[in-house]
Amino acid sequence: MNACYVTTSIPYVNARPHVGFALELAQADVIARWRRLKGQDTFFLTGTDDNAIKNVQVAAREGITPRELCDRNAVFYRRLAGALNASVGHFIRTSSDAHHQGASRFWAACRKEDIYLKRYQGLYCVGCEDFYLEKDLQDGRCPIHGTQPETVKEQNYFFRLSDYQDRLEGLIVSGKLRILPEARRNETLGFIRQGLRDFSISRIRERSGGWGVSAPDDPSQILYVWFDALTNYLTGLGYGQNGEGFRRYWLGSPQKTHVIGKDILRFHTIYWPAMLLSAGLPLPETVLVHGFLTVDGQKISKSLGNAVDPFPIIEQYGADALRYYLLRAIPSGLDGDFSEGRFREIYTADLANGLGNLVRRLEVLCERSGYRVQGKPCCALPAGIEEAVEDFQFHTALQILWDRVRCLNREIEAVRPWDLLKADQNAELTRHLWAWVRDIRTLARALSPFLPETAEKILAQFSPGRVAPGEPLFPRLA
Provide the binding-site residues for Zn ion, judged by CB under 5 A.
125, 127-128, 142, 144-145
Sorted by sequence, the CB contacts under 8 Å of residue 198 that are 6+ apart come out as 118, 158, 159, 160, 161, 162
Identity of the residue, 128 or 398, whose beta carbon is nearer to Zn ion in the bound complex: 128
Identity of the residue, 127 or 252, whose beta carbon is nearer to Zn ion in the bound complex: 127
Identity of the residue, 145 or 406, whose beta carbon is nearer to Zn ion in the bound complex: 145
Identity of the residue, 20 or 243, whose beta carbon is nearer to Zn ion in the bound complex: 20
Sorted by sequence, the CB contacts under 8 Å of residue 328 that are 6+ apart come out as 346, 350, 394, 395, 398, 399, 402
Find out whether 133 and 88 touch, Cβ atoms under 8 Å: no
Q: Cα(93)–Cα(46) distance, rounded to whole angstroms?
A: 9
Query: How many CB atoms sit inside 10 A of residue 404's CB?
Result: 21
Identity of the residue, 143 or 370, whose beta carbon is nearer to Zn ion in the bound complex: 143
**Amino acid type, 326:** L
Beta carbon of residue 103, minimum distance to Zn ion (angstroms, whole number): 23
Beta carbon of residue 125, minimum distance to Zn ion (angstroms, whole number): 3
Identity of the residue, 127 or 469, whose beta carbon is nearer to Zn ion in the bound complex: 127
Sheet holding 293-295, edge to edge: 298-299, 293-295, 336-338
User: How much is the CA Rg of the chain, to the nearest whole Å?
Assistant: 25
Beta carbon of residue 388, minimum distance to Zn ion (angstroms, whole number): 35
Sheet holding 202-204, edge to edge: 202-204, 218-223, 214-215
Beta carbon of residue 15, minimum distance to Zn ion (angstroms, whole number): 15
Beta carbon of residue 144, minimum distance to Zn ion (angstroms, whole number): 4
Beta carbon of residue 20, minimum distance to Zn ion (angstroms, whole number): 16
- Name the residue among 387, 362, 370 with its Cα closest to residue 426: 370
Beta carbon of residue 289, minimum distance to Zn ion (angstroms, whole number): 18
- Name the residue among 149, 136, 138 with its Cα closest to residue 266: 136
Q: Cα(439)–Cα(404) distance, rounded to whole angstroms?
A: 9
Polymer length in residues for the chain: 478
Bridge partners, residue 159, by sequence: 115, 199
Beta carbon of residue 129, minimum distance to Zn ion (angstroms, whole number): 8
Identity of the residue, 200 or 278, whose beta carbon is nearer to Zn ion in the bound complex: 200
Cα-based torsion angle of the residue sequence 178, 184, 188, 194 in order, rounded to the nearest 10 degrees: 150
Identity of the residue, 249 or 271, whose beta carbon is nearer to Zn ion in the bound complex: 271
Beta carbon of residue 142, minimum distance to Zn ion (angstroms, whole number): 3
Identity of the residue, 53 or 180, whose beta carbon is nearer to Zn ion in the bound complex: 53
**Amino acid type, 33:** R
